[in-house]
């Protein structure tokens, strides 16, 4: 019994659609499993890119350590992440106050981050300070503050991996 030629094209379309569906489901499953149970530290998690990263990693099942300068904003982000999340698939984020302009507190923050889960798989350094002004009008103190927030603070936090420990099974990431 031969298959009518009129049925070949619809049959191929159905087969291709089935293969595409299975492919997207596998990719969706794999993307969630890549970050599942990984410890992700996000600095300045309460603004723009940090907030979006927090939402994506939280949905993927990562163990989040959210850092920011304002406790109220961190709690607000915590509430928005946990309000619509399934507690069987996600973990409650840990909140840490982090202000890169206070370089003396960085070592305490490194210890606090280490106490949360004992290790870090991914570190996303999102904090930065921007200034739009003529270079002649910027004081040396402000230059130092910008360097502390944009360079020395994040690099000190990243170097804290020696005391915290970064897992090597997952890519050591600093964004």
Residue 41 tokens read as 């530290």
Residue 31 tokens read as 């993307």
pLDDT digit string, tens, across residues 23-75: 787 777 656 667 888 899 999 999 888 999 898 889 888 999 999 999 999 99
The mean-pLDDT minimum among 3-7, 42-46, 147-151, 154-158 falls in 3-7
- pLDDT computed for residue 172 by the predictor: 45
User: Does pLDDT of 78 surpass 50?
Assistant: yes
- pLDDT computed for residue 158 by the predictor: 84
Question: What is the rounded distance in angstroms from the CA atom of residue 138 to the CA atom of residue 162?
Answer: 35
Question: What is the rounded distance in angstroms from the CA atom of residue 60 to the CA atom of residue 20?
Answer: 22
Residues 50, 42 contacting (CB under 8 angstroms): yes
- pLDDT computed for residue 174 by the predictor: 46
pLDDT digit string, tens, across residues 136-150: 898 999 988 888 888
Pick from 170, 72, 85: nearest CA to 119: 170
In which band, very low, low, confident or very high, does the pLDDT at 169 lie, cut at 50, 70 and 90?
very low
Q: What angle do CA 114, 119, 123 make, to 5 degrees?
A: 90
pLDDT digit string, tens, across residues 80-123: 999 987 878 888 999 999 988 888 888 888 888 888 888 888 88
> Under DSSP, is residue 127 helix (H, G, I), strand (E, B) or coil?
coil
pLDDT digit string, tens, across residues 118-137: 888 888 888 888 888 888 89
């Amino acid at each position: 019994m031969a298959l009518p030629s009129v049925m070949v094209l619809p049959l191929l379309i159905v087969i291709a659609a089935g293969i595409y569906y299975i492919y997207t489901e596998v990719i969706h499953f794999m993307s969630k499993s890549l970050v599942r149970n990984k410890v992700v530290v996000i600095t300045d998690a309460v603004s723009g890119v940090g907030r979006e990263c927090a939402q994506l990693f939280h949905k993927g099942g990562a163990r989040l350590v959210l850092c920011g300068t304002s406790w109220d904003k961190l709690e607000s982000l915590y509430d928005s992440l946990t309000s619509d999340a399934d507690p069987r698939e996600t973990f409650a984020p840990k909140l840490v106050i982090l202000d890169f302009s206070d370089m003396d507190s960085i070592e305490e923050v490194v210890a606090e981050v280490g106490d949360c889960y004992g290790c870090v798989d991914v570190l996303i350094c999102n904090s930065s300070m921007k200034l739009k002004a003529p270079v002649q009008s910027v004081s040396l103190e402000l230059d130092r503050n910008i360097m502390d927030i944009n360079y020395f603070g994040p690099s000190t936090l990243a170097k804290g991996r020696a005391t915290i420990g970064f897992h090597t099974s997952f890519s050591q990431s600093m964004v």
